Amino acid sequence: MFQPGLKGVVAVQTAIASVDGDIGELRYRGQLVETVIRGRSFEETAYFLWYGQWPDDVQVENLQHQLLSYRKLPAHIVEMAQLLPKETSLMDASRTLVSAYTHSEFQTLPSAEQAVALTAALPVMTALFYRLQNGQQALSPRDDLGHTANYLWMITGQPPTNGQTQALETYLKLTMEHGMNASTFAARVTISTESDLVSAVVSALGTMKGPLHGGAPSGVIDLLDTIQTKDRINAVIADKLDRGEKIMGFGHRVYRTEDPRSIVLRKKCLELQGEDSWLDLAIAAESHIIKGLNARKPGRALYTNVEFYAAAIMRSIAMPTQLFTPTFSVARIIGWTAHALEQQDHNVIFRPQSEYIGT
């Protein structure tokens, strides 16, 4: 039976993650996401999604060592980044640089280590081209910084504060994986042809670029910029609702309750309350917005989605809007590669049917 967009069609059996939109649950490897990421680093959470078990101290150390070693980009990638037109979008640049990443040494690596290499390289490529694009000197990775902190360093040239690193790392861990979304499906389709992992990630990046999937939460930034101060919240929201405008950051295609990722991000923002005025504004605005939406649209049950607090966090760490979707990709590459590896283990090529409706 034809289903537009394959909505509701089960195309994959997976042990990586599950999304239950009716009750608002996201699970990594069977465990609630809020439990999985609590007290765990980016590296530990990535290992858990890739291998299905928590790493011991030696395995964490080995993974950290691998990620450090693969931060150094091959010379041809750096040269290519320098040759790309500066007006190239960051997602286009990332896709191009990843597509060229494969080389003889990389091809000899087992697939699981290729996933680690691509995970280490993608944020470095992103930061490299961002700085070149803006006429800034490219920075070398720092071996004394973890995955998240190094990404912030390479973008800004400033050592990030502990609060900034915590806020961004929470976002990255929460968005590593989200079931059979469009970019993950694209990665699995590509790898199912017995293509390589680089091609699977390139397919996923091309899919993530689309505004219906990886579109940056710039609308939430615009909303917070319009509100500016807590005393303006009610007036701004009332004006937007009077005009029939959509309030960005509320409602989700999958979740019929509150997005579980937004709950975790809200908790992190509350922990950091008082450290950043934008986080404080977002916390204050959320309850007023929910109240206004419920009054104007009874029965709609519009809840906060992950974009609302993600935007607040990005704004608080001064992340430029053009880096939002690339940063989303820096997180989601874990899910893409985990699914690609799972597809390789039990591969059947995707070959759906089409229904002819011509004359």
| Active-site amino acid positions | 252, 307
Calpha distance 213→325 (Å, rounded)? 10
CB atoms within 10 A of CB 222: 13
The partner residues of 25 in beta bridges, in order of sequence, read 20
Q: Which amino acid is at 6?
A: L
Among residues 161, 153, 154, the alpha carbon closest in space to that of 275 is found at 161
276 token code pair: 């950043």
Calpha distance 211→203 (Å, rounded)? 15
- What does the buried/exposed string (b/e) look like for 231-267 if buried means 16 or more CB atoms within 10 Å of the residue's CB? eebeebbeebbeeeeebbbbbbeebeebbbbbbbbbe
Phi and psi at 287, nearest 5°, equal: -65, -40
Calpha distance 231→281 (Å, rounded)? 10
DSSP annotation of 72 reads S
107 HSE (CA, 13 A, CB side): 7
